[in-house]
Amino acid sequence: MDEILKKLINISHQLADPALDLVILGEGNTSATCSDGTFWVKASGSQLSTIEREGFSRVYAEPVLKLLDDKDADDSEVAKGLKEALTDQKMKKPSVETFLHALCLYEAGVNWVGHTHALSVNSILCSNLGTEPFLNHIFPDAVVVCGERPAVVPYADPGLPLARAVREALRRYMEEYGAAPKLMLIQNHGMVALGMQDRDVINISLMADKWARTLLGTYTVGGPHFLPREEIRRIETRPDEEYRRKEISSLR
């Protein structure tokens, strides 16, 4: 089996561990670039907890990204376009979130993506506070693993509308910070972990979950005490934290 696909199956199973409360049933999806203009992405209807090779689709990135610019594409044209983008027509239909993954992999330039609907994170994203509590940090390790700030996306209909909102958020973030986000939060929907290494997707997802759980706890005792912006910037750029970031990324 393709080594990239092996790793993708592995991180999918880890993200779906019932003890983590990141996904249930058919929720969530994962992807990885193959560095040849194609990428693996979860097929529609597959479950991350039990997914194996046949639960993934390999698609060409170019036609998927091109469809994003077709403002008149309806649901049937989207389904047809995703089918035609398969490298092998015998493979299952790719997830409707294939567009989101294509953007993260090819516009943001990462290698691995994990999209989950964590109970802890969604408890905040689905509240009246939305993404606001995540715009400042409350402890240093979230800065180290999840980055200086997450990219935020307003709610949009899954599929092309959501992907277009993601594209706008990614471009805005990369223009401001000069690099891709590690964590993206989608209002009333879930989170996306973007990694250069496969392990990054696990680390970011776990740390975002801890971040959300801690935030929820602070609201029971007076509210969060946010770190000063200058401290967040300091943590993000410290050489020793960069070294620790690389070590964490290599953990197995």
Q: What is the pLDDT of residues 87-110, one digit of tens each?
A: 998 899 898 899 999 999 999 999
Side-chain half-sphere of 106: how many Cα atoms within 13 Å?
22
DSSP string, 93-162: PBPTTHHHHHHHHHTS--SEEEEE--HHHHHHHTSTTTTGGGGS-SSHHHHHHH-SS-EEE----TTHHH
Quote the pLDDT of residue 69: 85
Q: Are 145 and 166 in contact (CB under 8 A)?
A: no
SS3 185: strand
SS3 251: coil
Q: Which pLDDT band, with edges at 50, 70 and 90, does 15 fall under?
A: very high
DSSP string, 212-234: HHHHHHHTTTT---PPPHHHHHH
Exposure of 239 by Cβ count < 10 A (0-12 exposed, 13-18 middle, 19+ buried)? Answer: exposed
How many Å apart are CA 172 and CA 160, to the nearest integer? Answer: 18
Question: The pTM is what?
Answer: 0.93
Quote the pLDDT of residue 143: 95
Please give the CATH number for the structural domain made up of 3-249: 3.40.225.10
Q: What is the pLDDT of residues 185-216, one digit of tens each?
A: 999 999 999 999 999 999 999 999 999 999 99
Q: Number of helices (H) and strands (E), helices first, in the chain?
A: 10, 7
Residues forming a β-bridge with 112: 32, 195
Cα end-to-end distance, the chain, whole Å: 20
